[in-house]
Structures are given as structure tokens and as C-alpha cells.
Structure 1
Amino acid sequence: MNDPLDTVFAALADPTRRRILAMLLEDDMAVTDVAHPFEMSLAAISKHLTVLTNARLISQEKRGRVKWCKLEPDALRTASVWMQGFGQFEPVNLDAFERFLEQELPNEDHDAGS
């Protein structure tokens, strides 16, 4: 995929990657912390993080021996501007996006207490 917009929408198409983005709305996270709530290998999570990084939705930085992930909302703005061209969508509000993700994705922290 050469079109950045195609890359963003392809990255957003996967529920695991959307959940990772929701987690990163709170704060930067170490890769191991991102991986913790998922029942998949660290290698599988790393592949998801690579897709998100290639879409420029997140950035990764090594701090000492730990790799950290940070949300980069500019790619979402590009997608939002594109969608606004259809006149049916409002600009992306990251707070509203976070609320949407919280409603759409199961919250394992709450499920564990049930």
C-alpha cells in the first residue's frame, strides 16, 4: 500500500490494533505492557505494532532497554479530513473516539472483576 490513507484504514480494520490505540490514548506504554492484556505472543503484538507504526498511528522509541509506544493522532486527522469530504462526518474528536472504543471493545479489567 503506497497511499497513506489506505495504510491508515487497513491498520484500523483490525480490532486488536484498535484496542491498542485505545490503550495508548491514556499514555505512552512499554511494548510488554501493551502485550499484557492480549492472549497472543509478543511476536504477534509486535507485528500489530509494526502495522500501526507504518500507518504512522503510533511511534516507537527505545528508552534504555525498553521499547515504548506513543499515539500519533495526525494520521487520524488525515482520515478525518478525507471523511469530511463526504459531508457526513465530523472532525475526529479524540475524546469521542476514546469513548467509542470503550463502548465497542470489551474491557478485560471490568470483565475480570465480574
Structure 2
Amino acid sequence: MRDVIEVVGDDECREGVLVDEVALGSVPDKAGLQVGDELIGWRREPSPPANPQAAFGVFDTPFDWMWLEVEQAHRGTVVLEVERRGLPLEIQLKTGEWNVHFNAERRS
């Protein structure tokens, strides 16, 4: 079974994308990511020798999640900066595949 997470862009003109669906048993599910969480940013600590420098970024669109999955998921644990019900939260995603699905429609 593929790990699936569905994310839609936030209607407000600010950073972040809203989690619309998290597949049961997926890496994000096991880490605690929930429907309704807003993805704000991410960071990855250095993991030498292959990845000697830290990396970080923000979520402006669902495509930022796709880039993160392709470029960073295999390099080490990624810490997501999330907002849940107005409160900041950090979620650690372990190395591995985070197959994702995006809803192209924006919320109304």
C-alpha cells in the first residue's frame, strides 16, 4: 500500500499548505501528522559524510512538499514545522518514501 498524503493550498495569502488526507500507516501518519495540520516549514540536520550541511525551507504550495520528498526524504530525518488548531508543533519524519497525492482544487 502506498503512503498517501493529500495537501491543498491555503486560501489566505501566506505561507503554508493544509493537510487534507493522511494515509493510515504511512510515514507521516506514524509521525503524528493529522488532517487539518498546516505545513509551515521544514528543516533537516546535517548527516555527514554524504549530507554535511543542514537544509531548511518553507511551504508556499503543495509542490514544495513534492520537492521535499524527492530531495530530502532520503537524506535524513526531516522536522516539519506545523500549526495545529492555531498552535505550533514539530513533527519528525523518518527517512523513507513519503508517496504523496495532491488535490489541485483550492478550498472555498
Larger helix proportion, structure 1 or 2? 1
Larger strand proportion, structure 1 or 2? 2
Establish whether TM, by shorter chain, passes 0.5.
no
**More contact order relative to length (CA 8 Å, sep ≥ 6):** 2
TM-score (norm 1): 0.30
TM-score (norm 2): 0.31
